[in-house]
Amino acid sequence: MSSIKSLKVTTLAENLVMGGGLGQWGLSLLFELVDAKGDPRKIIMDTATVPKALLHNIEHMKLDLSDVDCLVLSHNHYDHTSANVEILALTGGVKVHAHTDLFNPHIRKNKKGKTRDIGVPKGQGLPEIEAAGGEVVLNNSPIEVVPGVWTTGEVPRKSFETPMELREGTKLLTEKNGEWVTDNILDDQSLWMNLEGFGTVVASGCAHAGPVNILNHAKKLAGTNDIACFIGGTHLAGRNTEYLKRSIAELEGFGFKLFSPCHCTGFKATSWLWETFPKEFILNYCCREIDLLDPPKNRVI
């Protein structure tokens, strides 16, 4: 399996913030790397919830996104897809990789029958993306987005994990073939890559497929026994104590060198993960830069 030569991950949008950035409930990550062929590449994963805050952080960091190679949308939810058009305005006509279910309607319905749209917001969908110059590539299987960087494709659900914690009586629904059916967020995908001299790196949006499922799937795809780095959302927010303990116990077996959970992980799970991985843990926040071959010396501020 081919390996990339370097990797820096910059958090464009996240819940936490330090310095001059703006925080929000959402996630957007920039990957700067030298690919398996030795060429410089840039990938953006997800476009957060609040375009103005995301664009502020990009300007604050003085980032040039005109040479971005592609945009990867990890799943359909609005907190990952609300600035697709704005990002494409900065990047130009690039490929946009997503699962075939991503642009379907997705709603949350509470026990009183009240519904709320939680999928890709109006004005950020397929027609608008194409009008902004995006070339949409829909695929449920792993796909190499640049040499040495792959999507996981649709992740098999084999563990105890569930897509997310819901209040009693609340349902997630998606429309397929004209019918509303249970939404198990099957469009959830992550990115993975082998970094030369370091190991396999996995980056998730929200990990609705379950971090354990995702990491086991990535191990199989990469042909490795360990995952050197995980970064991104885990959707451990709101989970009960038993679920958290089981998740963390499973995560301890992956052999991390760096571990940087963020966004939908939640304060309780984040603090427990820090206790579990004190040497590997890196606190993530808006405008944080993580060079995997030269990680920050101070990992918690």
Is 150 within a domain?
A: no
Q: Is residue 147 part of a domain?
A: no
**Is residue 10, in this structure, part of any structural domain at all?**
yes
Domain count, the chain: 1
Give the other-Cβ count within 10 Å of 3's Cβ: 17
Asked whether residue 144 is domain-assigned, the answer is no
- 109 lies in some domain: yes
pLDDT in tens, 130-139: 999 999 999 9
CA dihedral angle for residue 193, residue 251, residue 264, residue 73, rounded to 10 degrees: 20
Q: Is residue 162 assigned to a domain? A: no
pLDDT in tens, 142-167: 999 999 999 999 999 999 999 999 99
Q: Tell me if residue 34 falls in helix, strand or coil.
A: strand
Cβ contact 255:222 at 8 Å = no
pLDDT at 66: 97
What is the overall mean pLDDT for the chain?
A: 97
**Conformation bin of residue 19: beta by default, left when phi > 0, alpha when psi is -120 to 50:** left
CATH number for position 248: 3.60.15.10
1 lies in a domain? no
Give residue 279's domain range. 6-138+167-291
- pLDDT tens for 92-104 read 989 999 999 999 9
The yes-or-no verdict on residue 174 having pLDDT over 80 is: yes
pLDDT reported for residue 87: 98
| Residue 56 one-letter amino acid | H
Q: Is residue 155 part of a domain?
A: no
The bridge status of strand 95-98 relative to strand 70-72 is parallel
Candidates 262, 225, 143; CA nearest to 192 is 143
Mean pLDDT of 170-177: 96
